[in-house]
Amino acid sequence: MAGTVLVTGGSGYIAGFLIKQLLEQGWRVHTTVRNPAREAALRPLLGGDADALRFFTADLMHDDGWAKAMAGCSHVAHVASPFSTNAPRHEDDLIVPAREGVLRALRFAGAAGVTRFVQTSSVAAIAYGHGRGVHRFTEADWTDVNGADVYAYVKSKTLAERAARDWIAGQGGAMEFVSVNPAAVLGPVWSDDFSASIEVVRQLLGGLLPGCPDLGFGIVDVRDVADLHVRALTAHGIAGERFIAAGPFMKLIDVARVLKAQMPADARKVPTRTLPDWLVRVSALFNPMIRQITGELGNVRDADAGHALAMLGWQTRPVEQSIVDCARSLIERGVVKV
């Protein structure tokens, strides 16, 4: 099955792998970028000739360009959404583009006669606001945005998926909607403009952390996340479904140990001790980035991807491979000096 699909945010980490996989499978791909000047640098990295891959200029915050980008598309993967390591000045800097952006994409998709719309949501829309401790989440769980542990990005992803599902229920007509909800995405980077999720490996490998805070996350490979998007775009009988894209939950210290064990020569600067929580909390007084994550100390937010495995035949590669491929690509691109 191949037709024309719009992948929003063609400059993004996940979108890049998705575009490559769709092109390999014979799809014609439209993609949006905010800045048209980026096409020249992105096209050689993504592959596809001028007919197979077309760039359109569109911003989540404005209507301009969306009708042209959607024209002729039967499918949409709405991947674009603000994602940054920096805490925003105001939560609306993330929430408004995330929520208004998906509603805008849905509106233009509906008008263009798109039949299947896949939203890249997140485990962030599932696993927060449930209190501290050890949890294993499924697609039945929803983040409570009033929870004490909810920060701007988490809110943005939750409110955007909620808004999309409400819109579909009210105005979606025959258009089918599916969400893919990834955990922390690692794997090789394909450009120097990589995702915020890569920061963990960059900082460990570059020796930028004095030790490992007692933090963890589910890890999933970017190639597997892209593959799950392709399945979500094409499988029959899945309208309305939500699919968690996650591998095992790992603490930072476990990621560090994988790096040390699998690439000892290059992982010389990787810290091998866990930082006491009190030290992380003191550092947070001076560092807003650390402040964002102190609420995470000691928590386990495991997410169960059994639904995608069973319903879509999705498979994941070993997490060690995702971590090592991520680290090697950062070294090869000169992002990290070891």
Q: Which residues bind ligand NAP (CB under 6 A)?
A: 9, 11-15, 34, 59-61, 79-83, 97, 120, 122, 157, 182, 184-185, 195, 197
Residue closer to ligand NAP (CB basis): 279 or 289:
289
CB of 191 to ligand NAP, least distance (A): 9
Using CA of residue 192, residue 194, residue 196, residue 197, what is the dihedral sign? Answer: negative
Query: The tokens 């996650």 sit on which residue?
Result: 246
Residue closer to ligand NAP (CB basis): 79 or 175:
79
Task: Tell which residue, 27, 125, 123, 116, has the closest CA to residue 77.
Answer: 116
CB of 319 to ligand NAP, least distance (A): 14
C-alpha 80/C-alpha 87 separation (Å) is 18
Count helices and strands in the chain by DSSP H and E runs = 12, 12
Residue closer to ligand NAP (CB basis): 118 or 185:
185
Q: Is 293 helix (H, G, I), strand (E, B) or coil?
A: coil
Residue with the CB atom nearest ligand NAP in the bound state: 12
Burial call 242-263: b when 16+ CB within 10 Å, e when fewer: bbbbbbebbbbbebbbbbbeeb
Task: Tell which residue, 278, 153, 309, has the closest CA to residue 217.
Answer: 153
Asked if residues 271 and 215 have their Cβ atoms less than 8 Å apart, the reply is no
CB of 63 to ligand NAP, least distance (A): 12
Residue closer to ligand NAP (CB basis): 1 or 41:
41
Q: Pick the catalytic residue: 20, 157, 269, 337?
A: 157
CB of 27 to ligand NAP, least distance (A): 19
CB of 59 to ligand NAP, least distance (A): 4
Asked if residues 338 and 268 have their Cβ atoms less than 8 Å apart, the reply is yes
Task: Tell which residue, 118, 125, 129, has the closest CA to residue 162.
Answer: 125
155 is catalytic: no
Query: The tokens 């490979």 sit on which residue?
Result: 221
Determine how β-strand 4-7 pairs with β-strand 134-137.
unpaired
Using CA of residue 242, residue 318, residue 23, residue 9, what is the dihedral sign? Answer: positive
AA identity, residue 42 = L
Task: Tell which residue, 136, 220, 142, 132, has the closest CA to residue 179.
Answer: 142
Residue closer to ligand NAP (CB basis): 74 or 119:
119
CB of 43 to ligand NAP, least distance (A): 15
Residue closer to ligand NAP (CB basis): 212 or 244:
244
Question: Active-site positions?
Answer: 157
